[in-house]
Amino acid sequence: MELVCPAGSLNAFRAAVDNGADAVYIGFKDETNARHFEGLNFNNKAAARALALARERGVKLYIAINTYANFDNFGQWQYSVDQAAELGADAIIAADPAVLSYCSKRHPAQNLHLSVQASATNAGALNFFKRHFNIKRAVLPRVLSMKQVHSLSQSSPVALEVFAFGSLCVMAEGRCYLSSYLCGESPNTVGACSPAKYVQWQKNGAQLESRLNNILIDSYSPEEKAGYPTLCKGRFDSMGARGHSLEQPTSLNTLELIPALAGAGIKALKIEGRQRSPAYVAKVVDVWRQALDNYKRAPEDFAVHSLWRDSLTALSEGTQTTIGAYERAWQ
């Protein structure tokens, strides 16, 4: 299985390549990608340097242009597609039929992957994108159980990539407007969820409060570790109880599913985290490289080393991990 790793900067890109990524995905510095954060991503010059490094080391470069194009600025998405194609990206990762359509007509030889933001969870949706744009691979949303992934892999007209590690979206990607409901900007429209410009930290007595567009997302006592106020991971009141009504701060970790995913015919494993530091990328990619190499050497004897597990847990949100929707109990 191919190990697909994130990079939000050239340094993160180097870290991914140095630690054993088979492919690295990046985005441009604008609203065309779903990690449109301040200080992150690549201009054309940095993307060209990333590509040179990728070629030198035999690593693939994918470019995510995976938000939904709006009327005002469709030219921006077309420009990004042209840049990625002219640069020679090994794949463009896109979600919007309009973007995929433009690319397949303008650059018919360009390899296309379907982004998780397209929310394709079934054979019909995958057929739609294959028939119209001849996509070669699709990234599955983090909503399917292992059994469902296995079954879809049998009927899918294209190769499948799944999320292996990183921040956990509890909602089906591309089908969540919670962020725009609270602050007017969402992953689909501007490529951001719970954007940093709406975040406020406030002291209230001994409590530390995190707010998003002035809405209280969480309140921490002095002994608690405060986390970024991603709105679906806040503590709210429901049915007379206070808690993480939707999801806790946690990361997805599927090390133990490597044999099952390989057995299901999954072609690639994706590490989430273009917003993460080069040091984070280096550590996560290193662990996953070791795990996949171990599996390849002796599939029958594969076991998750406690060192790998500890190392990934330490890097996780809220220092805890879950195998998420792959396991029915999480659902």
Partner 1 sequence: MKMTLAPIPFFWPKDTVLAFYEEAALWPVERIVIGETICSKRREMRTEDWKDLALRLSKSGKDVALSSLALIESESEYNSIKSLALDGVGLEANDLGAAEIFHQQQHLFSAGHFLNIYNIECLKLLHQDGLRRWTLPVELGKKELEQFSSAINEHKLDIQTELFAHGYLPLALSARCFTARTLDKPKDRCEKICLDYPQGIAVDSQEGQRLFTVNGIQTLSGKLVDLVDKIAELKQLGLDSVRLSPSCFDMTDIIDSYQRAIDGEHVESVCDNYCNGYWHGREGMATELSELAALN
Which residue reads 């360009």 in tokens? 110
Region of residue 20 (phi > 0: left; psi between -120 and 50: alpha; otherwise: beta)? left
Q: Is 98 in the site for partner 1 (CB under 8 A)?
A: yes
Q: Which of 56, 203, 238, 300 binds partner 1 (CB under 8 A)?
A: 238
* Alpha-carbon span 65 to 117, nearest angstrom: 10
Closest approach of partner 1 to the CB of residue 4, in Å: 22
State the amino acid at position 108 in one-letter form. P
SS3 per-residue string spanning 232-252: HHCCEEECCEEECCCCCCCEE
Contacts of 180 (CB under 8 A, 6+ apart): 186, 189
Q: Please, what is the angle between helix 123-133 and helix 97-106, to 10°? A: 30
**Binding-site string for partner 1 from residue 154 to residue 173, where x marks contact by CB under 8 A and - marks none:** -x--------------xxx-
Q: Is 298 in the site for partner 1 (CB under 8 A)?
A: no
C-beta atoms surrounding 55 within 10 Å: 13
Question: What is the footprint of partner 1 within residues 171-230 (CB under 8 A)?
Answer: 171-172, 174-178, 180-184, 186, 188-189, 213, 215-219
Residue 10 or 323 with smaller CB distance to partner 1:
323
Q: Which two tokens stand for residue 200?
A: 């406020």
Residue 90 or 185 with smaller CB distance to partner 1:
185
Residue 10 or 125 with smaller CB distance to partner 1:
125
- Per CB under 8 A, the segment of 146-154, 257-265, 299-307, 312-320 that binds partner 1 is 146-154
C-beta atoms surrounding 222 within 10 Å: 7
Binding site for partner 1 (CB under 8 A): 68-71, 74, 95-98, 101-102, 118-125, 127-129, 131-132, 142-145, 148, 151-152, 155, 170-172, 174-178, 180-184, 186, 188-189, 213, 215-219, 232, 234-239, 242, 245-247, 325, 328-331
